[in-house]
Amino acid sequence: MSSVAIHSDHEMQHGFHGPEKGLMRWVMTTNHKDIGTLYLWFSFMMFLAGGSMAMCIRAELFKPGLQFFEPGFFNQLTTMHGLIMIFGAVMPGFVGLANWMIPIMIGAPDMALPRMNNWSFWLLPFAFTILMSTLFMKGPAPDFGWTAYAPLSTTYGPKSTDFFIFSIHLMGLSSIMGAINIIATILNLRAPGLTMMKMPIFVWTWLITAFLLIAVMPVLAGAVTMMLMDRNFGTSFFNAAGGGDPVMYQHIFWFFGHPEVYIMILPSFGIMSEIIPTFSRKPLFGYTSMVYATSSIALLSFLVWAHHMFTTGIPVIGEIYFMLATMLIAVPTGVKIFNWVATMFRGALSFETPMLFATSFVVLFTIGGFSGLMLAMVPADYQYHDTYFVVAHFHYVLVPGAIFGIIAATYYWLPKWTGHYYSETLGRIHFWLSAIALNVLFFPMHFLGLAGMPRRIPDYALEFADFNRIASIGGFVFGASQLLFLYIVIKAVRGGPKAPDKVWEGAHGLEWTLTSPPPYHSFSTPPQVN
């Protein structure tokens, strides 16, 4: 049965037919595919909004001097860009993919808690409306960076900071409900015979990610609640004059913030572990080690938070511990990279658009990992801290890592979702524009940072002008190329070459490699199904 037929069957079961198929279908739906679609479209809208702010930032930095914005508004843009991209674009994008694919991959009829699924999505548009409305309030919007360090956000934060705090609470509530739903679905609704160690890697990565979300979102909620108390109720959690400590905020925030980085990358690891075997026509190399590596990364992510704080004056023994623990994360990450390369090794490779994005993910994410190792070294970090080297590092991890992961997954599963193939030619053009522009945009930032250019400033010394101009041109091209992606998706949704039930079989032969691990006929003994 084709995916389109499955979708329409599901609609009939849920009562969406006739005149009710309108706006209310999307508002009231409990269908995991509809909710996944809502998440993905919301994610893309936020991606364009956050990307537009990035374009404004790069326009300001195109040459030295103040061109368009006052420094205060520039700081509001950088704050809003970070918040929107992390909480509005990347996380909802991955939750949308989880909603669409996890029930299908484990043979479940729907998510375990469908009404809560609906609610967890509809919190997000309200949360981001509140957040972005601060740009239009009397007085400045939040201007303290997405990290909201005290005392910039407490003693000196603008009045709109309270709206920022409320929106963060709503986003956190949405994330926790989504994570509970995913865990309940995976643990309780698997098809008979589908043991944990036979689940696709994408399902595994999301199970681990969901536990991370439940562990760390309350920590963020606690931090912003303490901010709220300091601002409005006379407490002094982060106020040194009242016996508090602003550095305590950093400890609490980064105990959330570092696992959050892995929340934004682990689902991408799962996506790559689905795409690479398909286009290599080989089973995934080292399935068990992939599961254990993912679990190790998640565990270690809780033990390294203070590597963001080397310049705050923590004891030397603490610096040594956090330096070594940070370097240790490179081991399970290296295992995953090795397994992907080993999967491709001597495979019958073909480079359709999803595979192009997947291979670029492996290469560019590795570059981001190497600059992360540089930042892990305490003496070097003193020089790199708060320069554009850090900006280059986390964008090399998150743009090829998270954004390319979501794009690759969209190309990979879009024929399954819509029943239509996308335009392969346009997809490849989109890839090459994105990949080249991304490197033109972010690679010069390494040199800017090593030369000493500080981040979050709208003006800079003349010697930084050339690299900034190159980066801005790359940024404009990268931003414009995402409009081509929008066109490709809409074109596929509206029609195109019809996709068969086994989407990649016609072009790629071995449909069974869509699952990881592959079904029993690739091994010696079949699974026992009662």
- Catalytic positions are 81, 110, 146, 174-175, 258, 260, 262, 273, 307-308, 333, 336, 455
Rounded Cα distance between 157 and 159, Å, is 7
Q: Which residues pair with 387 in a beta bridge?
A: 454
Q: What are phi and psi of 103, to 5 degrees?
A: -60, -40
340 to each of 153, 422, 517, 527, how far by Cα in Å?
42, 25, 13, 26
Provide the 10 A C-beta neighbour count for residue 466: 12
Rounded Cα distance between 530 and 522, Å, is 21
Rounded Cα distance between 361 and 6, Å, is 32
* Class of residue 343 by CB neighbours under 10 A (exposed 0-12, middle 13-18, buried 19+): buried
The residue written with tokens 């609640």 in the block is 225
Contacts of 441 (CB under 8 A, 6+ apart): 58, 395, 471, 474, 475, 478
- How far apart are the two ends of the chain, measured CA to CA in Å? 25
Rounded Cα distance between 257 and 519, Å, is 38
Q: Smallest Cα–Cα separation from 155: which of 244, 72, 70?
A: 244
Q: Which residues pair with 498 in a beta bridge?
A: 420
Taking the CA atoms of 282, 287, 289 and 291 in sequence, report the sign of the dihedral they define.
Answer: positive
User: Given 3-state DSSP classes, what are the helix, strand and coil percentages for the chain, each rounded to the nearest 5?
Assistant: 75, 0, 25
For the chain, state the CA radius of gyration. 23
Q: Smallest Cα–Cα separation from 61: which of 456, 385, 433, 482?
A: 456
Q: How many residues are listed for the chain in this entry?
A: 530
Measure the CA angle with vertex 86, ends 256 and 124; round to 5°.
100
Rounded Cα distance between 463 and 446, Å, is 15
Taking the CA atoms of 510, 203, 43 and 21 in sequence, report the sign of the dihedral they define.
Answer: positive
Rounded Cα distance between 164 and 54, Å, is 20
Longest dimension (CA), the chain: 72
Rounded Cα distance between 125 and 171, Å, is 9
Q: In 61-188, which residue ranges form alpha helices assigned H by DSSP?
A: 71-83, 91-106, 114-133, 161-188
